[in-house]
Amino acid sequence: SLWKPGLLLPLPSPPAFSTTCARCAKDRRLRQKRAISERQLTRYFVDQRRVRVVGGQGGGGGHSFHSEPRKVFGGPDGGNGGDGGHVIFKADQQMKSLSSVFPFYQGFHGERGGSKNCYGANGAHLYVKVPVGTLVKEDGKVVADLTQHGEEYIAAYGGAGGKGNRFFLSNENRAPKLFTPGEPGQERVLHLELKTTAHAGLVGFPNAGKSSLLRAISRAKPAVAAYPFTTLNPHVGIVHYQDYEQVAVADIPGLIKGAHQNRGLGTAFLKHIERCRFLLYVLDLSVPQPWIQLQDLKYELEAYEKGLSERPGVVIGNKVDLAQSRINLPLLREQVAERVIALSALTGDNLEELLLHLRELYDTYVKTEQSRGQSPVKW
């Protein structure tokens, strides 16, 4: 032992910061998000899923006869079996992707009927949480549209429980030995399709700077590169405001001419724009005649769904840090009737104007929904 009588050992030095002090806790930096590739991001945001669902099997009916002293002919007392549990899809606003949905679900089985006329317990229902805005399709036909938090859809019914021999008691048959097994649960193959319920949607051609803009205004980290179709799946970023309101912005993969005819990435991602409350048209100011991009984008949206291009929105002129962009900016404002916000997602120039206008669009949407007696989508 190193300890000796009369020897005072030095006390351990206090930590560099206190783990209980609120003032010191604020000084700690948030851990930076690890950069991941586009291929890895597909695990986190899944917008389609094929699911096989099978309801729980009903419990078999009981087969027994009552036995008691001085009561020889007690008669049949086999109870009915319990019903199988349903498989139920339930919309949950905490879920943002279908990545946590498994390809197979089996409901809980009902219990077998017992003696003394005891019924078997029903199987518990199996709830599967899905994001708000999930479409449920069967054989290409929409069977459910879960657009509200807490909305439910019974994907597969559980089987009915079997009948015990007590059920078949009659004046003609005083000692029935007949009992029936439980019925199997319903089996279906369903296709889940998520239509992003973000407040704002970034719409633009490839390499217009949509992913860079989303990285600049939120903590989302979509892949950014100098080649077309870098973004292969939608990304959702959250813009935080000082009053704790959160506005969700979706980065939709780039569109090309003929996208409504399934060219390029096709209609696979045009469906995500349907649920956006307002649209942000991102144009590349460095190309000749950037207003042609806006006309083509609106044409593709209108050809996909009538009235889609008329939703509230704003035109964003990106890459204003380039010399050619500053020349094209006044020409764009002459050709376009909508408001044009010129900014640079790379350098961060004039992002404040976009964030303020984005909040104005969000507040208008909230007031419109409340005036209609509907609850606006919150993140």
What is the predicted pLDDT for the residue at 34?
54
The DSSP output letter for 343 is: -
**Ordered strands of the 200-203 beta sheet:** 235-240, 246-251, 200-203, 278-284, 313-318, 340-342
3-class DSSP state for residue 235?
strand
Measuring CA to CA, which residue among 41, 355, 345, 31 is closest to residue 221?
41
Half-sphere exposure of 300 (CA within 13 A, CB side): 27
Residue 196, Cα to own-chain centre: how many angstroms?
7
Residue 338, Cα to own-chain centre: how many angstroms?
32
The DSSP bridge pattern shows strands 104-106 and 340-342 to be unpaired
Asked if 195 and 271 count as a contact pair (C-beta separation under 8 A), the reply is yes
What is the predicted pLDDT for the residue at 224?
58
0.75 surpassed by pTM:
no
What is the CB neighbour count within 10 angstroms for residue 50? 12
**Domains, the chain:** 45-195 (2.70.210.12), 200-372 (3.40.50.300)
CA distance 179 to 169: 11
- Three-state SS for 264-301 is CCHHHCHHHHHCCCEEEEEEECCCCCCHHHHHHHHHHH
pLDDT along the chain (379 residues), means of 10: 50 46 44 49 67 94 82 81 94 85 94 87 93 89 89 94 87 83 93 81 83 82 52 73 86 61 53 81 87 86 83 89 88 87 87 91 90 78
What is the predicted pLDDT for the residue at 41?
47
